[in-house]
Structure 1
Amino acid sequence: MWQKSKRSMSGSLKLVLLGLALGLVGCASTSESPDEALQDEVAGLSHLPIGAEGRVFKLSAYSEPQIQDIQYALQARGLYWTAAQTPAYLDQQSCPLDVYAHRGHYLYPENSASSVLMGALGGFDGVEIDVMLTRDGYWVVHHDSVTGRATGRSDGKHFRMSRIKAEQWNSLVVRDKDGQLSQERAPYAIDVFKRWANSYQLGQQLNIEIKQDADIVELNHLLKMARQSLPQGSYFFSSLELDVLKKVRELDSNIYLGYVWEPHSSSIAEVKAVARKATKSDVLYQKYQRQINWVSDYEARKRSRSKSQKYSAKTVREALGLNSGLHVDIRSFVGAPTIYSRSKQAGLAKVVTYSINGSDFHQSQLLALKNMARPLPDQAIMDTSKFEICHRLYPNLASQQVNYQPITELGRVVMSLPNDANFSLLQEQQMYLRDQHYITANGQIRSLKEPAVKPKAAVTQPHQPTTSAVYIPEDEELNLELTPINIEIPN
């Protein structure tokens, strides 16, 4: 089972393997000998994307014949197995929804160089990261207002990001997905930019979310670093601060800029309720620590400002130009049927959704939109793979396209599964198939003998927000004299 085998690795072993991976990717364009550069390559996979498991390096415990067979069987269904141990589409455009990896690949430490690398290799359309300034003017990759959750050090000391200096930042490492301190240093923005430049695939983009207010000199420094280290067209910026984005537009008239709406009030209320329960349970605390930290940050921001404001699509278009977009909470998107059409009518390039209530909720809302035949967003920022959400939306994308005769048991499993199966749990599927059952993409156990499930009739309403209405700003005239509202980007 791919995901479990990855998660079962110790933090140090994963970093050792990842170190090999980083080196091998980096040496693909060097003068090192082919034997050195491709020492872990599995024969016969050179036609697959560079991020395929076994294509340049092998991170799984499977034998080479097993990896070959799995890859050939998946290829017969228009898929491949990524180095991050998840399936992906050979044709990324087959799914109409673009999916970005939230703070990097969800199986790796958030906002780390390793998560950005594996996001680039993991079948995503792009990767989202958060950048903040140290007190002495260095741009670093971090989300929270205080260190300790995603980054830390052995003595347990925490630092406020508004006060931290480079010397203190240098003492931090990122935490792995189990919350343990790793051996990977907390990255500067330039570290992640270089990692992205060396590993991204054509068409992928790095979404650089600016997490705080910054003056034009500081933003010019960030933009200059990006221009010098990242290929043109491989990155863009977003922020909840419209004033920050206007300054970036002054510095670059062409780059895409995404204006982020604050989360829907019901989303915030739900996170607070979860946080209250989680503080009484170690298990829940570990599961929802992202949300708990977000609540803490949100309350601090709320006390520091008198009001919040969501600017309309027309205002965003007038302030930032054609190459701009609106990034909104999925709950706001679902609750406002005209938000997509109004954004497009205003001339915005993209409408993007995110969620502070978890990927399961985000996925359920996207499915509800599809069932109602409503437009999906252009892009979703998720803590899961692109394949997982697109596979639930469009299971027939995994239909068998060509004949292939597998030679191993795992290859036979891939070829035997129905279109709506979970292709990430091959060892579990192997056991269920012996009893003529399989695991569906949404986790149900179904008999192979059951007739094909007919699509459900379109429902009239999706899962509704807990509030009765969603506020959408009117298309007011832009007033450039307005005092900017200082608030941070949501999750």
Structure 2
Amino acid sequence: MTSRLLNSAVLYSLLVSTLFLTGCKSTPEPQQPAYVIPAAISHLPLDAANQGLDIVDIQLALGDRNLYLAANGNIKMISTAQCPLDISAHRGDFRQPESSYNAIAAALNDNFNSVEIDVMLLKDGTWVNHHDSQTGRATVHYTGERYKIERMNRKEFGQLKLRDKNTNALLNERPITAAESFKVFAAYRAPSQKLNVEIKSDANGQALVDLDNMLRKYIGLSGFYYSAADKDTLYKLRGINPYVYLGFVQGGHPTSVEKLRSDLRKGVKNDAYYLDNQDDLELAGRYGTKRYRSRYQDYTSTSALKKLQSKLGTNSGLHLDIRSYMQSPGVKSRAKGLGMKVYTYSINGTDYHQQQLLTLSHNTLPDGVIVDATPYKICQRLFKASVPAKRYQPLSNIGRYIASLPQDADFDRFEEMLGYQQEGYYLSLNSGLKSIVKAKKVTTKNTTPTPLLEHGFPTITDEKLEHKTGETIILTLPENGTQ
């Protein structure tokens, strides 16, 4: 009995000790004070970087140019009000793998007005985010074999891997379905941003109804529009959705196709180049120059635009290769007269696209552009939307470097550009690496005219002499000739 009591006492004391210790452990630790964004940069967008060495000075130096440093390391524009152009991200952010979550999310985060994606139909009726008619370029099957997208099912499509754009290496990431694309767009979009869904498959009415229902469900009626190179597909969509914008994609100009074909022939031995342009190469080879020219149709005339609008409805537009747009300078005004929009794209590269846009006056630019470039680059090159106001004097080395950069500095390559800070160089939007030219010292010229005599020679003026006497100097001579 005594031993039981002792055991009970021991157990009780252990229990009390355990509870006491547990109570000590559960005592909440003092909370760390929440980080407060410095007041000087609290006006910047929510994704602005707000921590780090000299971050306030850097942000204020960038802000003097209508720019800011985002938390992801990109330089973005504070305001795009100076850029009255609908800038659409071609297949999402051009720096991200095609057909990926990141391509859509990054484009939205970079403030594109719209994001263009391509959708295709699998044999089991699943809509997927994919541009090419077969695998091999942007997506690769794990076996290495090439497959036509229209002959794959959902399970087989899920076995594809994405390819890195820079290295062409395969990523441990699969392409996404159309429904997944719509969900990620809905999660990251701002109210004004829209999704441009370009339809690549020849789909029947029910498949298009399913597609439209998904878009309405995940994004809403006002958050998307369609484009396609097939008028009949767009005509079916008009019957399904009487309100949505429909953009007809006119084929590339024959000269653009010839140029593309020539460029691809030169680079076909370069495996990386071939992989990057494989679909375009096969397109050019399939049509051929002569055959393509014979089948090419131009819709830039007033009569052609009227026929197009009659088929697609009033809320419609024409999406043109930039070369076709340049050769039809009045197409925008003709389309505007009918209430239609005009967008441009290029199959000859984003640099060519931008160079052509730079030759246009602001009022002759298209309504929108579908590009592989950032909104900052387009707005800066076309509208000088990032001009230094010179209202802030930076204190840090990086801040002073930012302030010293000329107007044509390429802030898309800001991190790379910092590597040239000590040498006094920068990366230009137009011509690569350049030296920062310091302002020359201005010397004040003597504006007083030299007096002339009647014979025309300048007057020689005598030097003025000082007649005032100074202090008396006393000289003492040595006596007896000693020195």
1:202 to 149, 168, 191: 191
Cα deviation, 1:17-47, whole Å, max 9, x if unaligned, reads: xxxxxxxxxxxxxxxxxx9xxx999766664
Contact 2:118 2:199 in 1 (8 A): yes
Q: 1:4-153 alignment to 2 at 5 Å?
A: 47-50=43-46, 52-54=47-49, 64-82=52-70, 85-153=73-141
Q: Is the 8 A contact 2:135 2:141 kept in 1?
A: no
Alpha-carbon distance change, 108 to 319 in structure 1, aligned in 2, over 3 angstroms: same
Would you say the 8 A contact 2:260–2:284 is kept in 1? no
- Give the Å deviation of 1:180: 1.5
Equivalent residues in 2 for 1:272-287, closer than 5 Å: 272-282=261-271, 286-287=272-273
How well do the aligned residues superpose, as a CA RMSD in angstroms? Answer: 2.8
Q: For the residues of structure 1 that align with 2:37 and 2:127, how far apart are their CA atoms?
A: 39
Q: Report 1:10-409 matches (<5 A).
A: 47-50=43-46, 52-54=47-49, 64-82=52-70, 85-177=73-165, 178-282=167-271, 286-287=272-273, 289-300=275-286, 307-311=295-299, 312-348=304-340, 350-370=341-361, 375-395=364-384, 397-401=385-389, 403-409=391-397
SS of residue in 2 equivalent to 1:176: coil
Q: Please state whether the residue corresponding to 2:247 is helix, strand or coil.
A: strand
Residues 429/139 of structure 1: CA separation in 2 closer, same or farther (3 Å cut): closer
Q: CA deviation at 1:436?
A: 5.2
Give the 3 Å change call, closer, same or farther, for CA 334–40 of structure 1 in structure 2.
Answer: farther
- Look up the SS of the partner of 2:222 in the other structure: coil
Tell which has more relative contact order, 1 or 2 (C-alpha 8 A, sep 6+). Answer: 1
Q: Secondary structure, in 3 states, of the residue corresponding to 1:206? A: strand
Deviations 1:120-172 (A, max 9, x none): 00121111100000011000000001112111233313210121111100111
State the alpha-carbon separation in 2 of the partners of residues 47 and 281 from structure 1: 48
**2:469 match:** none
Q: TM-score normalised to the size of structure 2?
A: 0.76
CA–CA distance in structure 2, aligned partners of residues 216 and 398 of structure 1: 47
Unaligned regions of 5+ residues in structure 1, if any?
Answer: 1-34, 56-62, 452-491
Name stretches of at least 5 consecutive residues in structure 2 with no aligned partner. 1-30, 441-483
Alpha carbons 1:438, 1:448 under 8 Å: kept: no
Relative to 1, partners in 2 of residues 1:414 and 1:253: Cα closer, same or farther, differing over 3 Å?
Answer: same
The higher radius of gyration belongs to 2
Give the % identical residues: 37
> Residue 423 of structure 1 aligns with which residue?
411
- Does the CA contact (< 8 Å) of 2:87 and 2:112 recur in 1? yes
For residues 230 and 431 of structure 1, do their structure 2 counterparts lie closer, same or farther at Cα, with a shift above 3 Å needed? closer
Distance across 1 between alignment mates of 2:102 and 2:420: 34
Structure-1-length-normalised TM-score: 0.74
Alpha-carbon distance in 2 for matches of 1:301, 1:317: 27
* Separation of aligned partners in 1, 2:98 and 2:63: 30
For the 8 Å contact 1:239–1:258, the answer to whether it is kept is yes
Q: CA contact under 8 A between 2:82 and 2:383: conserved in structure 1?
A: no
Query: How far, CA to CA, are the matches of 1:244 and 1:40 in structure 2?
Result: 53
Q: Secondary structure at the match of 1:380?
A: strand
Residues 138, 163 of structure 2: 8 Å contact kept: yes
2:49 maps to a residue whose letter is: G
- State the distance in 1 between where 2:388 and 2:249 align: 39
2:57/2:395 contact within 8 Å kept: yes
Distance in 1 between the 2:330 and 2:144 partners?
48
8 Å CA contact 1:413–1:426 kept in 2: the answer is: no
